[in-house]
Amino acid sequence: MELQFIGTGSIVSDRLSSSALVDEAILIDTPNGSMKAMRRYGLKPEAVDVCLITHFHADHFFDIVFLFLEQGLLRQRGTDLVLIGPLGFEERVQRLFELAYPGSWEHIRPRTRPSFVEIGDNGGEWEGLAGGRHYQVKARPVQHTVPTLGYRVTDDRGTTLGCTGDTAYCPAVEELASTSSTLIADTTFPTEAKAGHMSLREVEALAGRHPDLHILSTHISDDVPAPTRPNVAFPADGQRFTLDSHTLTAHDPRASDGADADAGKPLTKNLSHWRFS
């Protein structure tokens, strides 16, 4: 499984807003600026087949309009675009289009073939194809200030990637940590957990309880210090990782196509120890 971070920051941060792409076909969140960032990194927004939205805050959702435009302005999809998110997803997309480009939804909708999967309090599952490969997606509610989903993506080789979404520490985070080999975790604050987010202190405690789990922090604020646990790392915006069920390999953030090495906060530690084998 190839994982590329598009953004890794909280709202008030030099880092881009938090989103990530799996195997160039499954996009996790569409925050402000994420479509332009994908293009900068040499990624193709039109190649996304499945989009997982954790919640509808703007720093996770507001580029959804541009995902649709990237997919439908110049071309017509041949397969459905699967959109998984909390209840009310489809209605929110319609409302955003009405605000942003009145009258355009009726034109874009048939060209992009959206298939909405709305998930409520009991969580849910989806399985199907993305980029020609088979995946299972499991969604679980987490604890944020609005309805929010954490996700676990499993590929056809059994590699499991978890993503907490924005959340306070809660049982669903523990479950994701127990069932994933790599976990993308909300690390918004240094020590104090507030406003439905986790702190580095909680993320490092989680890492201590799950020593075989690789944790990649995201939604990082600029005042969060470097992690000290060997199995916690701060990815750079645009950084790419290769995962399988046991190993996580970090690629040099400077090697990302088109990425400006100084665009994100520089990595504060050497990631060479992230090659486990």
Kindly list the residues in this chain that would bind Zn ion in the complex (CB under 5 A): 57, 59, 166
Residue the block writes with tokens 């919640």: 55
Of 25 and 51, the one with the shorter C-beta distance to Zn ion is: 51
Of 59 and 155, the one with the shorter C-beta distance to Zn ion is: 59
Task: Write down the least CB distance from residue 166 to Zn ion, Å.
Answer: 4
Task: Write down the least CB distance from residue 41 to Zn ion, Å.
Answer: 20
Task: Write down the least CB distance from residue 188 to Zn ion, Å.
Answer: 8
Could you give the C-alpha distances from 79 to 154, 264, 276, in angstroms and in order?
21, 34, 37
Q: What values do phi and psi take at 57, rounded to 5?
A: -65, 145
Of 182 and 187, the one with the shorter C-beta distance to Zn ion is: 187
Task: Write down the least CB distance from residue 269 to Zn ion, Å.
Answer: 24
